[in-house]
Amino acid sequence: MKKKITDYLLSIVLCFGFLGVLACSSEKDTPSDTETTVKSLSANTTKIDLKGTEDGADITITSEAASWAISSSETWAKLSVTTGTKGTFLVRLTAEENKTTAVRTAVLTLTSTEAKTVTISVSQALGETSSGLYPNYNTSPIAADASGMGSTAAQLAAKMKLGWNIGNTMEATGGETAWGNPKVTKQLIDLVKANGFNAIRIPCSWNQYLANADKAEIQTTWLNRVKEVVQYCVDNDMYVIVNIHWDGGWLENNVITAKKEANNAKQKAFWEQIATTLRGFDEHLLFASANEPNVENAEQMAVLTSYHQTFVDAVRSTGGKNAYRNLIVQGPSTDIEKTNKLMTAMPTDKVADRIMAEVHYYTPYQFCLMDKDADWGKMFYYWGKDYHSATDTERNATWGEEADLDKFFLSMKTQFVDKGIPVILGEFGAIKRSDLTGDNLTLHLASRAYFLKYVVKQSKANGLIPFYWDAGNLGVNTMSLFDRSNNTVYDAQALTALKEGLQ
């Protein structure tokens, strides 16, 4: 019995020993997890230097891993292929011109669950249009914020009904009150809203408000003043456009190749500062690149397009709500005929369907703005087929009446609106010739009211958003709707005509 027990115990020991050998052998013969992931994954370079102009480079990736992925830390460094399998692959890295004021860098990261991570450093020199004339003012970019920015350009345009310009004020040379208007107050904006307008255009000057002209640095106090006026509008649930207006003509009168580099540098510097200051406003705020940029031909149009592109890029680069903000670019001279002929392309944008076009309308000039006769023509007092004078015939409009207006506005609808690009009619109006007397004055006023009503009516019919020009000055040959000195309605007839045009 004792021998049997001994033999039994020995058998158990031998069994466990045998199992242990098997276990040890199995553990030793099976590769570790670490060993299974170490497969070859490589790129033919670890450093790429790009020229400042549009440039690119080829990257050869060789992989024994079953799958891999490559990503870029920066959106400007674009990759033609981002994933692959076992084998050899060619990936094309591309970058557009570096329009910033500094060399920019990115990191490409090549990864696989079966291989060690590979990094490739990328740098791009300054581009030809990056003169470095001014500092980079995009010093605090933030992540894109879509809250309160849900409307596309077309959707936002549908919400804007009738607009009004705070003319000759925030853009006045010498200061806000230099051209005779009082400072903009909340009470004035309340008055405008109460009289049927739901949008305001704020023509703005910036170049005269520089803390440091050599650096194109805008005074903080002026940036904050513009922000205050924007807040008046937004508080009234009004849409508001902020632009760079005439501003001494540095851009408007210099849409030429010789000024392209310098003006793009200033455009970038200004818009980085403006956009950063006003970044917190929701979609009620829109930015406009310029005012009435003087352009006569395709060569100048190419320069203007570069100014607009710089504007779009500068605003977008600041992030936050500006990443989605609706932006407005002006046609050549904001003239409808020139725009129809020369504005064949819009600037590119990182976000789709957030750009509008802008034109102005003071046609015919002899009726809308001309205040004295000239050798080439005389003033028109009466506009519209049913408003011509039977006694003062030499003052009847001979061109630019209903048929011409219909043709002009339809051309903007066809060129832009029908393609999902709304059109802002940023300025329009006709002076009030209150020095006329008797029947001539009565007919002129009725004709002028009809003109205003017709512009608004046809704007609505063609998808244009009309903004009436109001310079604030009162008296003969002016366009003011409101007396800003006491915040009252000054021209009830014109105001009524504008609102009737919406009906």
State the alpha helices, DSSP H only, in 395-478. Answer: 402-415, 438-462
Q: What CA–CA distances, in Å, run from 112 to 62, 68, 117, 454?
A: 12, 5, 7, 66
Residue 293 · residue 252 · CB < 8 Å: yes
**pTM of this prediction exceeds 0.85:** no
Q: In a 10 Å sphere around its CB, with 0-12 CB exposed, 13-18 middle and 19+ buried, how is residue 371 labelled?
A: exposed
- Cα angle, residue 461 at apex, residues 458 and 462 outer, rounded to 5°: 90
Q: How far apart (Å, rounded) are the C-alpha atoms in residues 250 and 30? A: 75
One pLDDT digit (tens) per residue for the chain, 503 residues = 444 434 444 444 343 443 443 344 444 444 444 445 699 999 999 999 998 888 999 999 999 999 999 999 999 999 999 999 999 999 999 999 887 655 788 999 999 999 999 999 998 876 755 568 999 999 999 999 999 999 999 999 999 999 999 999 999 999 999 999 999 999 999 999 999 999 999 999 999 999 999 999 999 999 999 999 999 999 999 999 999 999 999 999 999 999 999 999 999 999 999 999 999 999 999 999 999 999 999 999 999 999 999 999 999 999 999 999 999 999 999 999 999 999 999 999 999 999 999 999 999 999 999 999 999 999 999 999 999 999 999 999 999 999 999 999 999 999 999 999 999 999 999 999 999 999 999 999 999 999 999 999 999 999 999 999 999 999 999 999 999 999 999 999 999 999 999 99
DSSP-assigned letters across all residues of 339-385: HHHH-------SSTT-EEEEEEE--SHHHHT--S-BTTB----B-ST
The pLDDT assigned to 104 comes to 83
List the one residue out of 302, 304, 300 whose CA is nearest residue 358.
304
User: H/E element holding 493?
Assistant: helix 492-501
Residue 89 · residue 61 · CB < 8 Å: yes
Q: How far apart (Å, rounded) are the C-alpha atoms in residues 225 and 229? A: 7
Residue 342 · residue 299 · CB < 8 Å: no
The pLDDT assigned to 190 comes to 99
List the one residue out of 193, 160, 276, 140 whose CA is nearest residue 481.
193
Burial per residue of 466-497, b for 16 or more beta-carbon CB atoms within 10 angstroms, e otherwise: bbbbbbbbbeeebbbbbebeeeeebbeebbbb
> Hey, what domains does the chain have and what are their CATH numbers?
37-124 (2.60.40.10), 142-501 (3.20.20.80)
The pLDDT assigned to 52 comes to 81
Which residues are catalytic, by number?
Answer: 292, 427
Q: What are the residues facing 200 on neighbouring strands?
A: 164, 240
Q: How far apart (Å, rounded) are the C-alpha atoms in residues 501 and 157? A: 17
List the one residue out of 37, 45, 98, 95 whose CA is nearest residue 68.
37
Q: What are the residues facing 329 on neighbouring strands?
A: 357
Q: What CA–CA distances, in Å, run from 257 to 22, 266, 295, 343?
A: 83, 15, 12, 17
Q: How far apart (Å, rounded) are the C-alpha atoms in residues 47 and 99? A: 22
